[in-house]
Every structure is written in C-alpha cells, then in structure tokens.
Amino acid sequence: QVQLVESGGGLVQPGGSLKLSCTASGFTFSYYAMSWYRQAPGKERELVARISSGGMTIFADSMKERFTISRDNAKNMVYLQMNFLKPEDTAVYYCNARATYVWNTVDYWGQGTLVTVSS
C-alpha cells in the first residue's frame, strides 16, 4: 500500500526548466526525509537533493545552484524545481522516502520519471 508516484518528467531544451512532483501515500509522510535521485543509462544512481522532515536541505554540488527541493506535508508531496537544464541532466528521476530509527532504516522508492534534455 506504500506508494510514491513521480510526475512532471518530459522533454525540455537545454537551458529550460522543469518541475517534478512526487505524491506519497501509505505511510506517515511527515516523519520521513524525502529525496530525489537520478540514474542515467550506464551510470549509478546518484543523489540529487534531500529535504529532512524538518525542512533542512542538501544538494549534490553539481545541482545545488540550479535545483530546489521542497515539500508540502499537508499534501504528502515533494517537488524538485530544475532550472538551466543541461543535456547531462538527462536521466530517470526517482522519489525516495527514508525514516531512520535507532535500530532500523526504512526506504521507499517510486517508479521514476524520465527527464530528457535535448535540442
């Protein structure tokens, strides 16, 4: 019953913008840190950005000046605003939820949404 559903991916030209959304259900959303990861063909999945349950954010160095992560706990949603997109940003973007307890860590993943940056 736990679900993370991404949306907002698509084709965009270099220099353009795109906003991804992730809708969560089946767990206590406000307890979880939410993250966006991405994976390009032939490459490992990498962290793009993370926002804690308290609103603290971290970004990968290559994205922190261009991307913004935010969350709306009332709607069980997390967003990734992407600006000044580059062809290197082309990847499947995944939504992740993580709760860390004293003796356990719980992770949930969405199916991903494809972002293609090309002219």
| For residue 118, pLDDT beyond 90 | yes
pLDDT in tens, 57-76: 998 887 888 999 999 999 99
Question: Rounded mean pLDDT of the chain?
Answer: 95
- Chain-centroid distance of CA 38 in Å reads 8
Give pLDDT, residue 78. 98
| For residue 109, pLDDT beyond 90 | yes
SS (H, E, C) 4-33: EEEECCEEECCCCCEEEEEEEECCCHHHCE
Give pLDDT, residue 107. 96
Give pLDDT, residue 63. 81
Give pLDDT, residue 72. 97
pLDDT in tens, 71-91: 999 999 999 999 999 999 999
- Give the CA-trace dihedral at 76, 81, 86, 88, to 10 degrees: -20
Give pLDDT, residue 105. 94
